[in-house]
Chains A and B, each alone.
Chain A
Amino acid sequence: MSGYSLRGLHWFNALSAGASVVEGLPPSLKVADAELGRFIAVVADPDNRFPRARNGEVGLLEGWGLAKAVDDAISADRDNAKKRPIIAIVDVPSQAYGRREEALGIHQALAGAADSYARARLAGHPVIALLVGKAMSGAFLAHGYQANRLIALRDPGVMVHAMGKASAARVTLRSVEELEALASSVPPMAYDIDSYASLGLLWETLSVQQIEQPTEEDLTRVTECLKQAISDVTSTDLKGRLGASNRAASSKVRELLRAQW
């Protein structure tokens, strides 16, 4: 039993079966051009040159590698009226926490990835993020959060959050138990996908039979959903995320700013 998640890899392999693999990227990145579009996953590389990024974390190589994988798609389609969809398969436990990472500017590497995903979206590539596992903090900001549409599979292991429980407890000077008690009554603090869905950020949630290793039926279902999401993309902005009652202040602030601008 490995200490890291294999979900991202399994979903990538299933969704990109028979597709042409994109080479020249760090081993922790899986990239392939399939009929549906360019699939991109960050996966665990136990031999990663950066020891703090061996369990699927988004580190320096991953941030810059994602930027390159997305940039290449943007350049390849520059003169095409139809831009290939880009589908981020998200199973990222965290950004990499380490001395090398801070020293070498991991923040800049993650900005590279976010910049590329955002420019792809602005250039007219439908960008979709499919959450099959954890989508944590800086890792998610670099890989998935710039997508036009966010889709999450329904499973207790699918989780979006700003910080792991132990660290969040330490920073907010609470015990893990106190943090959990609060989280259950404050939707943006909760760790479960239903609470996250109540914030209006997800375009769709989907149930599958086998989250770890998709069945044929799962694959059909998710592929169908990805197709719908791609055809649903008609603008290049993120306005589709606004509107939920648990995110009402985000809309109100924008209305007031516009009125006073």
Chain B
Amino acid sequence: MTDSAALLNKHSFVELGARQRAQALLDAGTFRELLDPFQRVMSPWLERQGVVPQADDGVIIAKGSLDGLPVVIAAIEGAFQGGSLGEVGGAKIAGALELAAEDNRNGIPTRAVLLLETGGVRLQEANLGLAAIADIHAAIVDLQQYQPVVGVVAGSVGCFGGMSIAAALCSYLLVTQEARLGLNGPQVIEQEAGIEEYDSRDRPFIWSLTGGEQRFNTGLVDRYVGDDVAQIRQQVGELLQQGLPAQPRSQRAEWFLQRLRKLNTDQQIEPSVVRDLYQGERS
């Protein structure tokens, strides 16, 4: 195929909404949405704060199959309230993962894929968002006793806050160049630590530390792919086939502590320092 033909065949994943992303990953004709927007299970907290709620609360739960394997997909709609998680959206994700774990206890090998575009807790529902995220963490760890959980951060919102912890709990993480992954949003770091520490308006600086390419080069994610539906679908399928990782990243405390001991923390940090520290000669 020539380059221009390849380009014409390329379909952007990043440009898709959450529902279309879930549809694009599932085997044709197997997509079935749970708690769809017509059921209007909406946030009970937004309207009284002058925010218009959305009929799916910004979270899509879909069951179906991927390369013939039973999966449940939870996709966050980054376009609604910055992908923030409130009580309903959070409970949808936690509840779906809990049922997937229950399936496995009953002999049904349901796997999970999380499509993450989120700033974390929805501040209008603060403590209920935080509680829901704790439930999501619990459910990911529970499900991983049986099956892998694959996280995808495609962009363009990125994945932050308590949901970056959820991403880091996943068995495997896949990102594109459009992805950012980090605990604290740039504005909040600047607010808390000052502009010398973190300049939230310096975009190249922020991408160099938390962008998808850097996260891949530092081993904090597993796959780095182009923004293309077919590629992403293929890689997610491969990761699901792999089963559970031999050594999950979130269970490597000793290794990370040992690496952090070697770091000189007197100076401020550069992206290359992280690559050298976590990957050694590989990068």
Contact = CB atoms under 8 A, between A and B. Distances in A.
Of B41, B44, B48, B128, the most chain A CB neighbours within 10 A belong to: B128
B191 A170 contact: yes
Of A65, A107, A199, the most chain B CB neighbours within 10 A belong to: A107
Contacts of B166: 111
Contacts of A241: 131, 135
Contact of A253 (B88, B191, B215, B249): B88
A92 B145 CA distance: 30
A97 B184 contact: yes
Nearest to B192: A97
A81 interface: no
A166 B91 CA distance: 27
A30 interface: no
B61 interface: yes
Contact of A110 (B90, B142, B168): B168
Q: Interface SS of chain B: helix, strand, loop or mixed?
A: helix
A258 B248 CA distance: 29
Interface stretch (A83-91, A139-147, A209-217): A139-147
Interface string B246-272: 001111111011001001010011010
Contacts of A71: 251, 253
B39 A188 contact: no
Contact of A52 (B92, B185, B197): B197
A231 B143 CA distance: 26
Nearest to A52: B193
Interface string B119-131: 0110111111111
Given A138-B162, A170-B187, A171-B188, A199 B131 contact: yes
B99 A188 contact: no
Given A99-B198, A141-B134, A118 B142 contact: yes
Nearest to A248: B44
Contacts of A18: none
Given A111-B168, A112-B250, A115-B248, A250 B187 contact: no
Range class of the B interface residue count = 35 or more
A99 B181 CA distance: 13
B138 A118 contact: yes
A112 B256 CA distance: 10
B192 A167 contact: yes
Nearest to B159: A107
Interface in A79-105: 94-95, 97-105
B164 interface: yes
Interface in B141-164: 141-142, 145, 161-162, 164
Of A68, A100, A252, the most chain B CB neighbours within 10 A belong to: A100
A250 B87 contact: yes
B265 A250 contact: no
B126 A161 contact: yes
A99 B209 contact: yes
Interface string A49-64: 1111000000011001
A257 interface: yes
A114 interface: yes
A105 B209 CA distance: 9
Given A98-B197, A160-B127, A253-B91, A64 B253 contact: yes
B125 A106 contact: no
A221 to B, nearest CB: 26
B271 A119 contact: no
A21 interface: no
B165 A97 contact: no
A258 B34 CA distance: 9
B267 to A, nearest CB: 10
A260 B220 CA distance: 36
Contact of A64 (B130, B142, B256): B256
Contacts of B123: 162-163, 168, 171-172, 189
19 contacts: A26-B257, A51-B265, A67-B251, A71-B253, A103-B273, A106-B182, A108-B168, A108-B256, A114-B165, A118-B142, A141-B165, A171-B123, A186-B45, A186-B48, A188-B128, A189-B123, A238-B134, A249-B91, A260-B35
- Identify the 10 closest CB pairs spanning chains A and B, nearest first: A111-B168, A67-B253, A107-B164, A118-B141, A253-B91, A145-B134, A97-B192, A115-B250, A107-B183, A162-B121
Given A112-B253, A163-B123, A171-B185, 19 more contacts: A60-B256, A102-B189, A102-B210, A105-B215, A108-B256, A111-B249, A114-B165, A137-B121, A138-B162, A141-B137, A188-B45, A188-B87, A201-B127, A249-B41, A249-B87, A250-B91, A253-B35, A254-B91, A261-B99
